[in-house]
Structure formats: structure tokens, C-alpha cells
Structure 1
Amino acid sequence: MLILQKESKQALYEQIYDQLKEQILMGKLAENSTLPSTRSMAKQLQVSRNTVESAYHQLCSEGYLSSKACSGYRVEKIQSNLIYDNPHHDYHYRDEHIVSEEEKNEQGTAEIQISFQYGRLEFADFPIRTYRRIMNQILLSSEITNISAYNNRIGEPELRQEIMKYLYASRGVRCTPEQIILCSGMPACISLISQLMMKHTAEIALEEPCYDTVRHTFRNHGLGIIPVDVGKDGITLEILEKSGAKAVYVTPSHQFPTGVVMPVNKRLALIEWAEQNDAFVIEDDYDSELRYNSKPIPSLQSMDRKGRVIYINTFSKAFAPGMRLSFMVLPAALMEEYRLSFGRYNCCVPWLEQKIMSIFMKEGHWVRHLRKINVINKKRHDTLISAIHTSMGEKVRIYGRNGGLHIILEVKNGMKEGELISTALAAGIKVYPVSGYYADYSRAKGNQVLIGYSSLSEAEIETGVRILNEVWFHDGHNRKMKAL
């Protein structure tokens, strides 16, 4: 049976195509079995016949179906090594629950008054005048001829030099510019690291919960996933030690999504685990700059003496996600492997963006921007926490405060995640699910939502929290009283 989401951004014929293709690959539609006629399928799904024909024709063109006059559409023989052994039954759930919801949010912004979206930055905070001045300076210089050439394969030396200086001053990271590889966004970093790790291990340990894009990226490269529970001080080392893993991905400065900060003693213990087990730690330091009531703890990489830590970071959380600019710092032990495997790859970050960012950092604008953005986001953070305490008090519990761009809110009103989101949405307020960040989403607490604040004004935050309080507590209480 096919289930169509008619409100989805994905075309109906693509949904039919995707579901039939998956059923063929999983063996649910056997070789030589006949599909319903286009007329019958269209009637069953309540769509036009042309929609079904488009899906069938696409499957025929790719070799999944064959069509003969008076015989209808039949399933072709597919090689056994193409059939999914483990089709990840939860993928579509998380994809619809998180990704498509964000797309729907973009489509239906007229219906949404306030969106507590994570990761979206306020454009007014971006230093557009300085950025434009530097860009114009480059466009009018003789260096602009570099835009018509292939340039340094791991990124422009000037930018890597500036990143090296900044990382040492702010995070204690010790490296040479040659160890810094520029990438187009965090998934690009994880993709390269996945391919490097495949030579050392078939599995990788991940925090449970963790950033779902990271999990998908490792999985898409064929690495097995070992979920390791996150406790009140970060990843659980006892479980990690028993897992047999040779690589682990962690977000120690502000664990995503729980917001837990890994203390120094545990960081040292994690490095010791890596040394004793000939393993690697992938340290995602993604929003370490955003600390509001304390200084950041030194990075894991700054404590590493045996070259066991791979450091990655991004400009997306404090500067501009649309630039797609991230980087990784490889330990010296992996540099030769990188050169052998990827030495012929060209840097995927546009030269012009690299040049602008190198000048932006060299002239001191980056450090000034960080000071400014910390002050602005601290005000948003403090406004959110204060509004929640004032409106909801002991009826909720807050996780992950004092850093980053989001919190997790545990709501004690008897509602589950889906109902919390839907009741808020009905009132024009968008909050986001937490369960999709679990490898096993049934392990999520079930009454938590993720609330971001980086794109909202203080007034919008206060208004949003006030409305959430009304629909989650007062309206819900009134409904229960009426039911009684």
C-alpha cells in the first residue's frame, strides 16, 4: 500500500516512484509481479492518471519495471546485491519529521507568527557593509584573475594561516596551516573523515542523541553506527570502552542537542581511551565561540599529545550558514593518508569566499564580530530563559542553557512531543522535535522540544513563550476540565 503526503513539497509522482522503487529493492514486489494499471492505481490513490504514468515511466526508464502492450507493467529482475539488507526503517520518519517540517515552515511562513528554528541567523547581525567592501576590494584588484583558475587544493594559504592563529588563540588548537583542510559545510568534512576512517574501522561510535546529518553521512559511507548514551557530563565512557569502537564522534563544547558540556577530566579520559585503543576522536567544536556566562573549556585537540584527535569546526553558527565554509584539522599521522586519498581533489569552497574571509579575519573583523554576536545572542538567550521562568516556572525543565543557539525544553503537562508541536503550531508558534536526533527515536523522553532563538528579537521571544504557556498549560487545562 502506498501512502501519499499531499501537503508535502515533494511531487506526488515522485512519492509514488520512491515507494515503489523501495518495495522492489526490498523484495516486497517480486520479480515478474504485475503492478495495478495506471487507471486502477490512480483511482486507489485519488490522483490523476498522468501522475501514476509519470512514476511508472520513470521506473521503466531506470530498469525497475518493463511495459508490454496488453500486459501492463511488470517488475524486472534486480541483482541480489542491489537489494537492501537493512533498509533503515526509521529514515523516512526522521526525514519527514524534521527536514520536511522545516520546508513546510518556509512555505507556510504566513501562517506562522514566530518560529523557534535552530541554526537560522538574523541577517541584521551579518556585517554586510564590511563584507561588501572587502569583496569589492578583491573584485577590483589584480588577484581577481585567480577566480578563473584552479587554486590551492586544500584551501587558500592565507585563510588557513588566519584560521590557525585564531584557533590557537581561542581554542588552544596546535597545528600548522598544512593540517587545515577547508570544506564546504560540515557534511563535507564528515564525508572526508568517513573515507579516512574506513581504513581503520568498519564502525564508528556516536553520541546518543546526536546531530542526525552526521549519523546519515557516516552511514551513507558504509560505516556501522554504535550509539553511546550521553549523560549529564557527556558521552558515557564505560559504554564506549565496551563497544570496541576505533573512532568516536563527539560535540564536547556544547553537545548537540542536549547542550551538555564535557568537563576537563572527562576530556582527558576520552583522549586516554583513544591512546590506549589506537582510536581516533572526532571533535566537532561547532559553536564553541558562543558561551554566555563562562569561558569555553579548552578544546580536546589542545590536550592531545599523541595525534588522536581530528578537529572540525564551521563558520555557520556564528557567521553565515549560507557561505558553507567549514574546516578540519587533521593530526599529522593522518596527513599522508589524506594526501594519498584526496591529494587530487580540488577545494570545494569558492576562491572568492576564501579570499574575503581571509581578509575579514586578518583585519580583525572576525574577532570583533564574535564579540558582537555573543552580546546579541546572550541577550536573546537570557530573554528566553527569563520568559520561560516567568511564564512556566516549575512546569518545565530547561536543558543546554548558557551557550549555543538553542535549548531543549521538557514540558510537564502530559503532552507528548507531537502534541506539543501541533498545539503550538495551531497558535502560530513553531517549535521543533528532539526525537529525530536519536538513532532509536523511541528512546527520546517524548515530552521535549527544541527551541532555537538566534533569528528572533527579544520581543518575539517573549511573545512566543507567552503563547506557548497559554496553549500548553491554560488551554490544555481548560480542555481537560471540559472533558470532565
Structure 2
Amino acid sequence: MLHIEHKSKKPIYQQIYEQLKQDILEGKIPVGTRITSTRALAKELNIGRNTVENSYAQLALEGYITSKAGSGYVVNNTQFDLDQSVTKRVTMNKVPMAASGHKTQNIRYSFQYGSLDAASFPYKLWRQCMTEVLDGQHAQKVHREGDVQGDRDLRIQLMKYLYLSRGVNCKPEQIIICSGTQSALEILIRLFPYGEKKVALEEPCYNGVSVIFQRNEFEILSIPVHEDGIGLTELVTSPARIVYIAPSHQFPMGAVMPIHKRMEMLRWAQEYDNLIIEDDYDSEFRYNGRPIPALQSIDRYERVVYVGTFSKALSPGLRMAYMILPTWLLSAYQERFIGYQCTVPLIEQKILARFMADGHWEKHVRRLCLSQKKKHDILIHAIHQNMGSKVRIYGHQAGLHILLEFLDGQQEDELIRKALECKIKVCAASPFWLNKRNYKNNALILGYGMISETDIPKAVEILSRAWFS
């Protein structure tokens, strides 16, 4: 039974998370058990459902539980491998896994978002660069701790590339190499220059960001996303000192912020001495005209922290991202991170620096963009052809996914279940809404990075029959 201490300084969602995590680790909640639904637990504890959902989201993110279509959340087994004594207790008390009838290996077509097909990785060129980096003439350079901000050669290559491709203005000293976007945000939070910890997030937004701010005890102010990006009127009237946005391709809605609104955002930040975090997570993938210049490129007040990643165009497995700090935050960074080490292996940084210096990166991005545009166009055509006016498409013309809204009352869980029965994986949109009451529960995310061009029409045809017949 969960015990909530309302007078504690620790947020309620964190109390729930910690108690459930402990019960799972100790085997008190056996593997395969379906845990109490968010609605039932919220009612039992007399708290908001969003609080429970935040707790479950964190447990799912860390791998303790998994959301099963039609079954809610069930307890995973993988986390017990590190402790044999715990594993033994859990095995003795094990109950059958809630039957979903669908195993990952049975998936025929996957519309998983956020990743590319493994075949798109430039294996030959990467091995070539690795051989050059580890050659006897240069090998000594990788056998050292390196700079806390990341390899300088890589930062120089990034500076050049971002200026040409995104208009970003910076010096190598402003760039910090990080092991993912979440790692960049953890660093930035330690540099937070304001007393009140209030952050504005887009509604909906990438849940990997909301988790970081929640765990660092920020008050999250959800600001609705309109067709032209985050609601500026709502933002200006909020008490937020920092805002996290993806102005060039909002996730998951795909909104693009026009130039006049970008200027207004910068004026807001300058006038109120606030900070903007610009996440440019998939800027390479633009299918209609040239990529839009980054917000940072027109920032004359140094109010923008720019965050980017190599996960989309290379591989999430590299765990490599970067952050560009305004110069006025550099002294705070140098003071608070003295003695730290960069969290990205130096060898991988050196390989990527060589990959970029030899011109492979830009060629790789161009090839990828062409191939993903073809898949994007095929997917949009197939949806129009098979589903017509029954759905609305958001976020096309860029990125690696679309959001599909269903207009005839179909619900997310049922749509996912029917897709799985056809051995097709689609992704829920619900995790990206901070306030679930703002979500109509009638949308899915379809990524096309991992599915082949030839499979898309057939998969969409099957889905259409399953959803609308």
C-alpha cells in the first residue's frame, strides 16, 4: 500500500515513483503483474490523475514497467539482472504475464518513430574513419581524458556545419558535447540563473524533457501549441523564466514557427530577462525548401540555448548531442563543472570529427534526406488514398514522423490493438500531453524511418481495413 506524505517537500509523483520502484526491486510486485490503473490509483489516493501518470511515465522510462495495449502497465523483468537474490525472489513469486497476444518479434511492419533503419548507417565510412583515428600516428590522442566540453576538433567541425546549415553563430568555447538531450538539460539546470524554478513547456511536447524538469522539482507550465507554434500570448502572461521549444519542427505536432513570431519570442526573453531552450532535434530532415534558420541565428540578445543531436541522422546508440550556451553562461559552466569529465567517449568524438572533416557527414545527410523524403511522400499519398477525410495529418514536410488524428471517434488504445492484431506497430500520442484532459485520445504517431518504401503502401492499406472496416 502506498503512503503519501502531503506535508513533505518531495513531490507526490516522486513519492509514488520511489515506493513503486522499491516494491518492484524487492519483488513485492512480481514480474508480469498488471499494476493499478492511473485512474484507480488517483481515486484511491485522492490525488490528480496527472500526478499518477507522471510517476508511471518515469517508471516506464527507466524500464521498470511497460505499457501493454489493452492491459495497462505491467512489471518488467530486465531490471532484476543486476541482483540475483532479488531475481530469485521474483522468480518464485512470478505470475503469468498479462496476455496481450502480440510479441515484438511478430511485428511485420513497424512505424516506430525517432529511429532510422540500421541499413542507413554509414558503416563502411565509419569504420574507415575509426581506422584512421586509431592508426599509430594518431592513436595517442584518444588515450587521454579529454576536455570536459568535448573534443575541440569535433566542436570546430560542429561550429562550421551549424553556421552553414542552420545559420548558428557561436565559437567552439560555447559548444558542449553531451550524451543526449536529457544530459544537456541536466547540465543546463545546474546553471539555472533564476530563483523561481518555473519552466514553460509546449503542450503537447517530448516527454523525455518533461521528466527531466519534473525530477529536478521545476513547476511545469504547459502552454498550448497552435498552428504556428507555442502560444505566445499564454507564454507572456505566465510566470515562466525559461521556455523549452522546438520552433523548426515541433514535436509531435510538427508546427513551424514563422519569423515574426520568432522575433516576438526573442523580445519576450530580452524584455523579461528570460531564457529560451531551442531544440533543433531533426533539423536535417526538411522536405519542402531549405531548412529554416535556427532561432539562435537571429538572437542578438544571447537569450537562446541551442540543443541538437546526432541521434536522428546517425544513431541513437551513439548517445551524442550538443548544446550551445550564450557567452554569459560560460563562466557559470566552467565554475560548476570544474573537475568533471565529458560523458561521451573520446574515441567516438574523434571518429565523428574525422567523419565530418572529410565531408562524409554532409553527404550522408543529403542522402538520408532524399531517402526519407521518398518514404514521407509515399506515406502521405497512401494515407490520402486509403483513409481520405477520415484522418487529419500533422507534421508532414519535415522530420521522421507524422501525427495522425482520427475524426470519427476512434480511440487510441483500440487503434493500437487493431494494428497489433495485424502485426503492425504504431505509437501512442498520449504520453506527450502534460495535461491528459487536453488530449482527445484520438491520435497516433507514425514514424517512417524504420520501414522500407515498398512496405509502406501495403502496411497503410492493412491499417485502413483494420481501422475503418
Question: TM-score normalised to the size of structure 2?
Answer: 0.81
Instruction: Identify if the C-alpha distance between structure 1 residues 389 and 53 changes in structure 2 by more than 3 Å, giving closer, same or farther.
Output: closer
The residue aligned with 1:288 is: 283
Matched, 1:206 2:169: no
For residue 95 of structure 1, report the CA deviation from its aligned partner.
5.5
SS of the counterpart of 1:458?
coil
For residue 224 of structure 1, report the CA deviation from its aligned partner.
1.1
Contact 2:383 2:460 in 1 (8 A): yes
Contact 1:117 1:432 in 2 (8 A): yes
Q: Distance in 2 between matches of 1:53 and 1:196?
A: 33
Residue ranges of structure 2 left out of the alignment (5+ in a row): 7-22, 31-46, 69-75, 77-96
The residue aligned with 1:14 is: none
The residue aligned with 2:300 is: 305
Q: 1:367 aligns with which of 362, 386, 390?
A: 362
Matched, 1:117 2:112: yes
For residue 147 of structure 1, report the CA deviation from its aligned partner.
3.6
Contact 2:50 2:436 in 1 (8 A): no
Q: Distance in 2 between matches of 1:349 and 1:132?
A: 18
Q: Distance in 1 between matches of 2:141 and 2:198?
A: 41
Contact 2:198 2:239 in 1 (8 A): no
Matched, 1:442 2:414: no
User: What are the residue-to-residue correspondences of 1:460-475 with 2, within 5 Å?
Assistant: 460-474=455-469
The residue aligned with 1:390 is: 385
User: What are the residue-to-residue correspondences of 1:48-59 with 2, within 5 Å?
Assistant: 55=27
Instruction: Kindly provide the amino acid, as one letter, of the partner of residue 442 in structure 1.
Output: R
Q: Distance in 1 between matches of 2:371 and 2:183?
A: 29
Contact 1:118 1:406 in 2 (8 A): yes
The residue aligned with 1:89 is: 52
Q: Distance in 2 between matches of 1:55 and 1:123?
A: 36
Q: Distance in 2 between matches of 1:146 and 1:85?
A: 54
The residue aligned with 1:136 is: 131
Matched, 1:172 2:167: yes
Matched, 1:453 2:416: no
Instruction: Identify if the C-alpha distance between structure 1 residues 437 and 57 changes in structure 2 by more than 3 Å, giving closer, same or farther.
Output: closer
Contact 1:195 1:221 in 2 (8 A): no
For residue 52 of structure 1, report the CA deviation from its aligned partner.
10
The residue aligned with 1:349 is: 344
C-alpha distance after superposition, 1:198-225 (max 9, x if no partner): 6454111111110001000011112111
Instruction: Identify if the C-alpha distance between structure 1 residues 146 and 24 changes in structure 2 by more than 3 Å, giving closer, same or farther.
Output: farther
Instruction: Kindly provide the amino acid, as one letter, of the partner of residue 292 in structure 2.
Output: I
Q: Distance in 1 between matches of 2:149 and 2:60?
A: 36
Q: Distance in 2 between matches of 1:225 and 1:342?
A: 26
C-alpha distance after superposition, 1:245-270 (max 9, x if no partner): 11100000100000011111111110
Identical amino acids, percent of aligned pairs: 42
The residue aligned with 2:396 is: 401
Instruction: Identify if the C-alpha distance between structure 1 residues 212 and 361 changes in structure 2 by more than 3 Å, giving closer, same or farther.
Output: same
Q: 1:159 aligns with which of 151, 154, 165?
A: 154
Instruction: Identify if the C-alpha distance between structure 1 residues 97 and 189 changes in structure 2 by more than 3 Å, giving closer, same or farther.
Output: closer
C-alpha distance after superposition, 1:416-472 (max 9, x if no partner): 111111111111111111111011122112211000000110122112101110011
C-alpha distance after superposition, 1:172-219 (max 9, x if no partner): 111100000000011100111122226454111111110001000011
121-130 or 89-98, larger mean C-alpha shift: 89-98
Instruction: Identify if the C-alpha distance between structure 1 residues 380 and 85 changes in structure 2 by more than 3 Å, giving closer, same or farther.
Output: closer
342-351 or 125-134, larger mean C-alpha shift: 342-351
Matched, 1:331 2:331: no
- Which 4+ stretches in 1 moved above 6 angstroms? 84-87, 96-99, 102-105
C-alpha distance after superposition, 1:276-301 (max 9, x if no partner): 00000000011111001121221110
Q: Distance in 2 between matches of 1:287 and 1:201?
A: 31
Q: Distance in 2 between matches of 1:26 and 1:436?
A: 26
Instruction: Kindly provide the amino acid, as one letter, of the partner of residue 290 in structure 1.
Output: F
Instruction: Kindly provide the amino acid, as one letter, of the partner of residue 53 in structure 2.
Output: D
Matched, 1:425 2:388: no
Matched, 1:272 2:267: yes
Q: Distance in 1 between matches of 2:313 and 2:351?
A: 16
Q: Distance in 2 between matches of 1:255 and 1:87?
A: 22
Q: Distance in 2 between matches of 1:435 and 1:374?
A: 28
Instruction: Kindly provide the amino acid, as one letter, of the partner of residue 285 in structure 2.
Output: L
Residue ranges of structure 1 left out of the alignment (5+ in a row): 1-19, 28-50, 59-83, 475-484
SS of the counterpart of 2:201?
strand
Matched, 1:319 2:291: no
Instruction: Identify if the C-alpha distance between structure 1 residues 97 and 146 changes in structure 2 by more than 3 Å, giving closer, same or farther.
Output: closer
Q: Distance in 2 between matches of 1:441 and 1:108?
A: 28
Instruction: Identify if the C-alpha distance between structure 1 residues 137 and 433 changes in structure 2 by more than 3 Å, giving closer, same or farther.
Output: same
Question: TM-score normalised to the size of structure 1?
Answer: 0.79
The residue aligned with 1:11 is: none
For residue 88 of structure 1, report the CA deviation from its aligned partner.
2.6
Instruction: Identify if the C-alpha distance between structure 1 residues 333 and 314 changes in structure 2 by more than 3 Å, giving closer, same or farther.
Output: same
Instruction: Tell which has more relative contact order, 1 or 2 (C-alpha 8 A, sep 6+).
Output: 2
Matched, 1:232 2:227: yes
Contact 1:435 1:442 in 2 (8 A): no
Contact 1:413 1:473 in 2 (8 A): no
Contact 2:150 2:177 in 1 (8 A): yes
Contact 2:179 2:321 in 1 (8 A): yes
Find the structure with the greater CA-based Rg: 1
The residue aligned with 1:77 is: none
